[in-house]
């Protein structure tokens, strides 16, 4: 195993992940990653008045994967769908005080999971109309 | 409370070893090649250590070459043998060797040798007769580890070495993890070359040894003053060598007692953890070092587990490493036929002479908690529970 220099913020989110778990009847679900690569993230959202009113994540992966998932839920909660779609991988890493370069590619998938959840919501909503 | 269960990474120096080393930093600081009394004192200490290391593995003192550690011993053995038999084009090893062997093989391949890799079965064991069937007179060097560093499986080295002897093929074994855990006898094993590392059996880091059977010719890696029978030039690391000698003596005297004790604690650990759901032992249970437990907890990933355990005072290691593109599962675990997601959830716990029952009990409380925490977080675990994976 290679030891990484994680920021205190990363470790804090790893120790105390925010909004971790599964919700009943989510409005949108996004899942990204691949267990073979060692990272899978699920993001579930509830949407009210075009805003993310509740958000939950589950992650299989390393510390960076867990911390970025936790961070994305904090960043997205309460945001409008448009605002949430604009959150990037770099925003997540930046908010955590940076990630080891080796972790930027594979473990920093949280923004993708969020976007997938929003797209899932929009698709379902479109379907109802 | 803390539990150190990473003794295959390195061990604590035995206090008796440290005590014997200390004078060689201060009062007895001579260069073992010097002719004066300071030098002679150092030389005597080095030769005494050589005898002790030789005795640990049933060798003659003059067959022991001191090096900087296991990696150098492996490099000296493999490169030294391959380059002394340039008329032969093939080299043979297994697919679960330590990187010190595998990467040296890759380098030898770049230098024109053709490497052949014997494959282990799902238990992490080589089939002796299958490997024997691969031995041919065009092989410059064959190298099979005595015991694996990740899963602790013990290979049928004797049978393979005997076939090499019949076919006049030079044979090396990496016994870095085996020494001090199981009996190691170079005559019974019938090997030509054998690597040791001091810090794996309570000696200091930065010193190791290579057994080179009498009459076996290999080329040195380093040129210089011709130390260690010309095979390892460079002023001897006298305090380190003294420490390795003392550690070897203690390891030999206490082998049976230490092994029995470690095995008891190891079994406690394995049985305790196997009672958890979706938890498996990696590697053969029977043909296994007495100090190695390597378990696989489906649904979680090793790096987070190791860090979470560390936060709770438990030092262990995992079998995955991050490359620039993705998390890479250990080549040893993949060689067992595990899927990558399964291999990622593996944890290596390794014991030593100093491991206590309290440490094991502490780990038996902490590990299930940490696994549970990560499984609650894991979408893969959810799928496993639903029968989707």
Q: Are B131 and B118 in contact (CB under 8 A)?
A: yes
d(C-alpha A69, C-alpha A89), whole Å: 11
Facing residue for A1 by CB, picked from B308, B320, B376? B320
Query: Among B380, B349, B372, which Cα is nearest to B282's?
Result: B349
Q: Encode pLDDT of A30-53 as tens digits.
A: 999 988 888 899 999 999 999 999
Residues on chain B touching A99 (C-beta within 8 angstroms): none
| Shortest CA distance from B382: residue in chain A | A58
Q: Report pLDDT for A1.
A: 37
CA distances to B89, B152, B216 from B81, in Å: 12, 26, 9
**DSSP 3-state of B220:** coil
Domains of chain A: 8-128 (3.90.1010.10)
Q: Report pLDDT for B80.
A: 98
Domains of chain B: 3-7+255-385 (3.90.1150.10), 15-251 (3.40.640.10)
d(C-alpha B289, C-alpha B153), whole Å: 6
Residues on chain B touching A1 (C-beta within 8 angstroms): 302-303, 306, 317-321
The percent of residues in chain A predicted with pLDDT above 90, rounded, is 79
The torsion angles phi and psi of B117, rounded to 5 degrees, stand at -115, 120
CB contact under 8 Å between A35 and B317, yes or no, is no
pLDDT of A84 strictly over 80: yes
Q: Give the DSSP per-residue string, B144-193.
A: --SB-TTT-BBP-HHHHHHHHHHTT-EEEEE-TTTBTTB---HHHHT-SE
Judged on CB neighbours under 10 Å (0-12, 13-18, 19+), B286 is exposed
- A5 in contact with chain B, both atoms CB, cutoff 8 A: no
B→A contacts (Cβ < 8 Å), by residue, are 299-304, 306-308, 311, 317-327, 329, 339-341, 344, 376-382, 389
Facing residue for B321 by CB, picked from A1, A60, A63? A1
B322 catalytic residue (yes or no): yes
Q: How far is A22 from chain B (nearest CA, A)?
A: 9
| Shortest CA distance from A65: residue in chain B | B304
Q: Report pLDDT for B31.
A: 97
Of B322, B323, B325, B386, which residue is the catalytic one? B322
pLDDT of A129 strictly over 70: no
Q: Report pLDDT for A37.
A: 81
| pLDDT band (50, 70, 90) for residue A72 | very high
Q: What is the ipTM of this complex?
A: 0.91
Q: Which residues of chain B have pLDDT under 50?
A: none
Question: Around Cβ B29, how many Cβ atoms within 10 Å?
Answer: 13
Average pLDDT over residues A62-76: 95
Test mutation, B297, B318, B327, B383, chain A, max A CBs within 10 A: B327
d(C-alpha B122, C-alpha B343), whole Å: 13
d(C-alpha B267, C-alpha B293), whole Å: 8
Q: Report pLDDT for A128.
A: 57
Mean per-residue pLDDT of chain A: 91
Q: Encode pLDDT of A114-124 as tens digits.
A: 999 999 999 99
Test mutation, A38, A64, A105, chain B, max B CBs within 10 A: A38
CB contact under 8 Å between B301 and A39, yes or no, is yes
pLDDT of A99 strictly over 60: yes
Q: Are B316 and B365 in contact (CB under 8 A)?
A: no
Q: Order the strands of the B114-118 sheet from edge to edge.
A: B64-67, B208-212, B193-197, B170-174, B139-143, B90-94, B114-118
Q: Report pLDDT for B96.
A: 97
Facing residue for A58 by CB, picked from B301, B323, B377? B377
Q: Report pLDDT for B324.
A: 55
């Amino acid at each position: 195993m290679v030891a990484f220099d994680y920021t205190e913020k990363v470790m804090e989110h790893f120790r105390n992940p925010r909004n971790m778990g599964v919700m009943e009847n989510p409005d949108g679900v996004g899942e990204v990653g691949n267990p073979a690569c060692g990272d899978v993230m699920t993001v579930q959202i509830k949407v009210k008045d075009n805003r993310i009113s509740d958000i939950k994540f589950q992650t299989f992966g390393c510390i960076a994967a867990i911390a970025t998932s936790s961070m994305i839920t904090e960043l997205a909660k309460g945001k409008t769908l448009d605002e949430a779609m604009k959150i990037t991988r770099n925003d997540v890493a930046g908010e955590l005080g940076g990630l080891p370069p080796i972790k930027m590619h594979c473990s920093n998938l949280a923004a993708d999971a969020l976007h997938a959840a929003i797209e899932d919501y929009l698709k379902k909503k479109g379907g109802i109309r | 409370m803390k539990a150190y269960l990473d003794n295959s990474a390195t061990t604590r120096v035995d206090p008796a070893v440290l005590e014997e080393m200390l004078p060689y930093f201060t009062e007895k600081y001579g260069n073992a090649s010097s002719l004066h009394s300071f030098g002679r004192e150092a030389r005597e200490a080095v030769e005494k250590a050589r005898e002790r290391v030789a005795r640990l593995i049933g060798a003659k003192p003059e067959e022991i070459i001191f090096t900087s550690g296991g990696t150098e011993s492996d490099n000296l053995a493999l490169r030294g043998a391959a380059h002394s038999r340039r008329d032969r084009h093939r080299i043979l090893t297994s697919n679960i060797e330590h990187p010190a062997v595998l990467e040296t093989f890759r380098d030898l391949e770049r230098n024109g040798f053709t490497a052949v890799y014997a494959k282990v079965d799902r238990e992490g064991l080589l089939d002796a007769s299958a490997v024997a069937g691969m031995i041919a007179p065009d092989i410059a060097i064959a190298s099979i580890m005595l015991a694996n560093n990740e899963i602790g499986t013990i290979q049928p080295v004797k049978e393979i070495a005997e076939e090499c002897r019949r076919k006049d093929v030079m044979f090396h074994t990496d016994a870095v993890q085996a020494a001090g855990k199981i009996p190691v006898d170079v005559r019974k094993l019938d090997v030509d070359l054998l690597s040791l590392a001091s810090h794996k059996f309570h000696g200091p880091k930065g010193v190791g040894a290579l057994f080179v059977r009498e009459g076996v010719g290999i080329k040195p890696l380093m040129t210089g003053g011709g130390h260690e029978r010309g095979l390892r030039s460079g002023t001897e690391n006298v305090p380190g060598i003294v420490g390795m000698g003392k550690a070897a003596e203690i390891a030999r005297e206490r082998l049976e007692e230490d092994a029995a004790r470690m095995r008891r604690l190891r079994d406690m650990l394995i049985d305790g953890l196997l009672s958890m759901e979706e938890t498996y032992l990696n590697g053969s249970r029977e043909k296994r070092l007495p100090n190695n437990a390597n378990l696989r907890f489906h649904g979680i990933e090793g790096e987070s587990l190791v860090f979470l355990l560390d936060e709770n005072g438990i030092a262990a290691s995992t079998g995955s490493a991050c490359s620039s593109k993705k998390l890479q599962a250990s080549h040893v675990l993949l060689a067992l036929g595990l899927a990558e997601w399964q291999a990622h959830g593996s944890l290596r716990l390794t014991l030593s002479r100093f491991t206590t029952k309290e440490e094991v009990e502490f780990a038996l409380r902490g590990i299930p908690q940490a696994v549970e925490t990560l499984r609650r977080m894991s979408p893969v675990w959810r799928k496993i529970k639903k029968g989707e994976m």
